[in-house]
Amino acid sequence: MTLPTTTAAWTIPADASSIHNLTKQTLPLPALGPHQVLIRLRAACLNYRDILVATRSPNYPGNHKPNLTLGSDGSGIIHATGPSSKWAGREGVKVVLHPNSWLTGDVRNMRLDRVYGAFDQDGTLAEWKVADDERVVEFGGHLSAGESSALLTAGVTAWSAIREGMDGRLDGNLGQYEGSFSEKRLEGKTVLTMGTGGVSCFGIQIASALGAIVIATSSSDSKLEIAKSLGATHTINYANTPDWDEEVIRLTKGKGVDQVLEVGGAQTLIKSINSTRAGGLVSLIGILSESGTLPKEVIPAVLFGGKIVKGCVAFSRDITAEFVQFTGEHGIKPVIAKEYGFDEVVQAMETLQKGEAVGKVVVNIGEE
């Protein structure tokens, strides 16, 4: 079999300061190593991180190489394998790519400079990609290529955060999943989600599937209807109810929620803490609001409430594989806001940058 030696890819120039600087070009493919596979990519899913990297924003660390290929999330099929690859003989299998080099164990094994689409790690907005065996996860399930690519950063982040709420330990280790995926492990618990972005949409579906009462917030009544369709029990329009933390307390009969999936960042953190029960968990996932001086109430609210505020920074390959299995068990589908063709990456990034999309923005790279 003659293998391709180049790939079309969307790259970030050295002097990029805008998403409109993204450039489609042809790049050489690295040689296929003994424990690697060549993936024909079918779809890539965009994340807010991609905007930060594409604009070389100081809000995301790293000296990203010139002409870096953007994108952390991708799905495709195995086209060829290295001579010693564990995937040998599995050509044609549908897969998703685990975005980082953290394979197993706890967060100490996470390296930010080994995540696709940043630093010197070329990403998934390309037609072809050579990947290490261990970063490939089989997915032959119920989703399209675009939908399966959307499982990764948003879906597995939400899954990892909820898993930490169920099985996490204070030393950073995550225990084995207890029971079967069909069990209602969150029955009697309450989870608060914020907005209708990718992480929050997945969070609603996951928590609901596990039996939790879900309270969802948004500034739009139409988006809250979508949240209800995904499994939210209660909804709060924070544009109409600016003191939404007080409404959360009312809905929980004065107790507060067991866990918050906090994606807003500095400007919403205190309200998330206020919404949490004594001893509860705030999973800090996003930085969508501008950083600033934290309100003076934060420390006493955490201290005297015995509450936990925990950063959620990526996830392991084991957790990715676990979530793929969980979605199949429950028939979970990502909410796709809009899909674009491979020549429309800039338009896709514009949609993402506006921040108005419900769910994920996907770029289709090839035919199913």
Share of the chain above pLDDT 90, in %: 86
Domain co-membership, 350 together with 256: no
The string of pLDDT tens digits covering residues 314-342 is 899 999 999 999 999 999 999 999 999 99
Percent above pLDDT 70 for the chain:
98
Tell whether 249 is covered by a domain: yes
On the question of pLDDT at 246 being above 70, the answer is yes
121 touches 112 (CB < 8 A): no
State the chain's mean pLDDT as an integer. 94
pLDDT at 29 over 70: yes
The tens digit of pLDDT for each residue in 133-163 reads 999 999 977 899 999 999 999 999 999 999 9
Domain that holds residue 304: 156-311
Q: Could you give the CA distance from residue 51 to residue 361 in angstroms, rounded to a whole number?
A: 12
Ranges 167-176, 237-246, 304-313, 323-332: which has the least confidence: 167-176
Same domain, 126 and 233: no
- pLDDT tens digits, one per residue of 174-223: 888 988 999 999 999 999 999 998 999 999 999 999 999 999 999 999 99
| pLDDT at 368 > cutoff 70 | no
How confident is the model at residue 286, as a pLDDT? 74
CA distance 77 to 93: 5
**137 lies in a domain?**
yes
140 lies in the same domain as 200: no
Domain count of the fold of the chain: 2
Say whether both 162 and 28 belong to one domain. no
Q: Is residue 193 part of a domain?
A: yes
Q: Is 329 among the domain residues?
A: no
Would 327 be classed as within a structural domain? no
In a domain, 23, yes or no: yes
Token pair recorded at residue 300: 């006493």
Pair 339, 244 in one domain:
no
CATH number at residue 164: 3.40.50.720
Res 62 pLDDT > 80:
yes
Q: SS3 for the chain, per residue?
A: CCCCCEEEEEEECCCCCCHHHCEEEEEECCCCCCCEEEEEEEEEECCHHHHHHHCCCCCCCCCCCCCEECCCEEEEEEEEECCCCCCCCCCCCEEEECCCCCCCCCHHHCCHHHCCCECCECCCCECEEEEEHHHEEECCCCCCHHHHHCHHHHHHHHHHHHHHHHHECCCCCECCCCCCCCCCCCCCCEEEEECCCHHHHHHHHHHHHCCCEEEEEECCHHHHHHHHHHCCCEEEECCCCCCHHHHHHHHCCCCCEEEEEECCCCCCHHHHHHHEEEEEEEEECCCCCCCCCCCCCHHHHHHHHCCEEEECCCCCHHHHHHHHHHHHHHCCCCCEEEEEEHHHHHHHHHHHHHCCCCCEEEEECCCC
Give the span between the Cα atoms of 297 and 98, in whole angstroms.
39
- Crossing angle between the packed helical segments 317-330 and 157-167, to the nearest 10 degrees: 100
Q: What is the pTM of this model?
A: 0.93
- CA distance readout (Å), 189 to 25, 213, 337: 50, 6, 29
The CATH number of the domain holding residue 129 is 3.90.180.10
Give the least confident one: 19-28, 29-38, 167-176: 167-176
Average pLDDT of the segment spanning 335-357: 95
Gap between the Cα atoms of 365 and 368, Å rounded: 9
> Is residue 59 domain-shared with residue 84, that is, in the same domain?
yes
Q: Are residues 297 and 230 in the same domain?
A: yes
> In whole angstroms, how far apart are CA 119 and each of 16, 31, 183, 262, 348?
14, 20, 40, 26, 22
Q: What is the model's pLDDT at position 288?
A: 58
Does one domain contain both 299 and 186? yes
The verdict on 93 and 180 lying in the same domain is: no
**Is the same domain home to 64 and 179?**
no
**Beta-bridge mates of residue 136:** 97
Q: What is the mean pLDDT of residues 237-253?
A: 97
For the stretch 265-303, pLDDT in tens is 888 999 999 999 999 999 999 765 566 677 889 999 999
Distance CA 130, CA 29 (A): 7
Assess whether 14 and 137 both reside in one domain. Answer: yes
In a domain, 43, yes or no: yes
Mean pLDDT score, 335-356: 95
Co-location of 16 and 142 in the same domain: yes
Residue at 328 is within a domain:
no
